[in-house]
């Protein structure tokens, strides 16, 4: 029996309003950006999955080099106790006059060197009720170095400049063989248009997929959370269209596993335009269940406080 086949849509087209305008997906978390960490988590959980990133291209998400973090503004009501990493200032050179060494004496030099420092899914009976509340709202959401075998359908192959296709028909170059960049219409239109763009970018793969997984790009542990909903969908009755994660209080529609044909149908029935509409516009046309997932796996980064708390947990 062959392993299930997945594709993942990562929503990365938000405006980071609660971060005061800074692009939170470019913030540094360890050796990656926030978006890069999300994609690395997804790739670890689903090594063979094609990933469609719905949002502006962020090449920094495809590298281990951590770019400088954008400045984090103070939250309304007062400053946030957020300490960002401060690069060490190199020691000032002291150019002093020295007497020349005697002839035949080898010159000596010293230069100091400093080295840089470098959930399991919960099994439970699925719910049969409709979601109460929309969980995550409009997406402020965020890309991945991989050596997996390339797929057909517009994916860039290492060593070539083959472009990848966006849902709008634009050709988007990617340096990673299984990452496609697409853009929601209109740009910044929210998660529902982002999901539609991701589905459009996966047109060639959808007929052969067992599930399309959806997550937000600001979830550092998205891969672990998606593994829970993907497993639950595989065990759910065939009449179930999608499985959502639940943190025990709310359902999380931006951490979900969809049957491919069900997602396409929900998008079609939701109708256009999708801009500004919540993901519930799709859920209204689907039969859904929820599976509990540990809250720490569903944690996202929306505010300076979230970012500071996550950096503390990583230490």
Q: What is the pLDDT of residues 88-126, one digit of tens each?
A: 444 444 444 444 444 554 443 333 333 333 333 333 344
Region of poorest pLDDT, from 9-18, 128-137, 196-205: 128-137
Q: Is 200 helix (H, G, I), strand (E, B) or coil?
A: helix
- pTM of the predicted protein model: 0.68
pLDDT in tens, 239-252: 999 999 999 999 99
Give residue for tokens 């050179």.
Answer: 93
Q: Which residues, 6+ apart, have CB-to-CB distance to 75 below 8 Å?
A: 20, 303, 304, 305
Give residue for tokens 């979830």.
Answer: 219
The Cα 57–Cα 306 span in angstroms is: 24
Closest CA to 288 of 255, 248, 312: 255
Give residue for tokens 């009976």.
Answer: 125
Q: Is 99 helix (H, G, I), strand (E, B) or coil?
A: coil
- pLDDT exceeds 50 at position 201: yes
């Amino acid at each position: 029996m062959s392993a299930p086949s997945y594709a993942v849509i990562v929503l990365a087209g938000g405006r980071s309003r609660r971060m005061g305008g800074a692009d939170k997906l470019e913030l540094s978390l360890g050796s990656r950006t926030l978006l890069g960490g999300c994609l690395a988590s997804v790739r670890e959980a689903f090594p063979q999955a094609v990933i469609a990133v719905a949002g502006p291209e962020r090449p920094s998400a495809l590298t281990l080099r951590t770019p400088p973090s954008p400045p984090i503004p103070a939250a309304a009501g007062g400053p946030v106790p957020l300490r960002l990493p401060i690069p060490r200032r190199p020691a000032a050179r002291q150019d002093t006059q020295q007497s020349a060494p005697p002839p035949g004496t080898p010159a000596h030099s010293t230069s100091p060197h400093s080295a840089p420092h470098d959930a399991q899914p919960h099994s439970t009976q699925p719910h049969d009720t409709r979601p109460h509340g929309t969980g995550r709202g409009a997406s402020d959401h965020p890309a991945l170095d991989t050596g997996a075998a390339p797929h057909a359908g517009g994916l860039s192959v290492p060593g070539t400049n083959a472009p990848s296709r966006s849902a709008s028909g634009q050709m988007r170059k990617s340096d990673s063989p299984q990452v496609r960049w697409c853009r929601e219409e209109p740009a910044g239109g929210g998660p529902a248009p982002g999901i539609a763009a991701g589905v459009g970018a996966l047109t060639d793969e959808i007929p052969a997929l067992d599930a399309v997984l959806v997550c937000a790009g600001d979830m550092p542990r998205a891969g672990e959370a998606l593994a829970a909903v993907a497993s639950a969908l595989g065990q759910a009755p065939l009449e179930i269209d999608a499985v959502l994660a639940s943190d025990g209080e709310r359902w999380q529609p931006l951490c979900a596993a969809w049957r491919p044909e069900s997602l396409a149908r929900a998008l079609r029935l939701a109708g256009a335009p999708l801009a500004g509409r919540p993901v519930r516009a799709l859920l209204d046309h689907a039969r859904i269940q929820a599976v509990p997932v540990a809250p720490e796996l569903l944690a996202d980064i929306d505010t300076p406080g979230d970012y500071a708390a996550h950096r503390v947990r990583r230490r």
